[in-house]
Amino acid sequence: MPLRSGRQMFSSDLRLLPKQRASLRIPLGILIPGRGCEVWDRVLGLIEELRPKKVVSVGDETSRLFVDHGRSADVYVVDGHVEREKVTPLQGDEGLGIVNPAGYISGSSWEVIGRAIEIGGGVVVRVEGEEDLLTLVAIMEVPIGSIVFYGQPGEGLVAVHVTEPKRHEIAEFIGAMGRSEGHV
- Is the residue at 143 inside a domain? yes
Q: Using CA atoms, how far apart are residues 64 and 47, in angstroms rounded to an integer?
A: 17
Outline where the chain has alpha helix (H): 6-9, 18-21, 37-50, 60-68, 109-119, 134-141, 164-175
The secondary structure of 53-98 as a DSSP string is S-EEEESHHHHHHHHHTT---SEEEE-SEETTEE-PPPP-SSEEEE
- Is the residue at 4 inside a domain? no
- Is the residue at 3 inside a domain? no
pLDDT of residue 1: 59
What is the rounded radius of gyration, in angstroms, for the C-alpha atoms of the chain? 15
pLDDT averaged per 10 residues in sequence order, the chain, 184 residues: 62 90 93 88 94 96 91 92 73 80 94 95 93 96 97 93 97 91 54
Kindly report, residue by residue over 41-81, the tens digit of the pLDDT: 999 999 999 999 999 999 999 999 999 998 889 999 999 87
- Is the residue at 83 inside a domain? yes
- CA angle, residues 52, 55, 58, in degrees to nearest 5: 145
- Is the residue at 5 inside a domain? no
Q: Which domain holds residue 131?
A: 13-20+28-178
Instruction: Tell me the CA distances in angstroms from 179 to 16, 28, 53, 104, 182, one per residue in order.
Output: 9, 23, 32, 10, 9
- CA angle, residues 85, 13, 103, in degrees to nearest 5: 30
Instruction: Tell me the CA distances in angstroms from 169 to 27, 65, 126, 145, one per residue in order.
Output: 13, 28, 26, 15
- Is the residue at 120 inside a domain? yes
pLDDT of residue 159: 98
- Is the residue at 155 inside a domain? yes
pLDDT of residue 87: 72
- Is the residue at 153 inside a domain? yes
Structurally, the chain folds into a number of domains equal to: 1
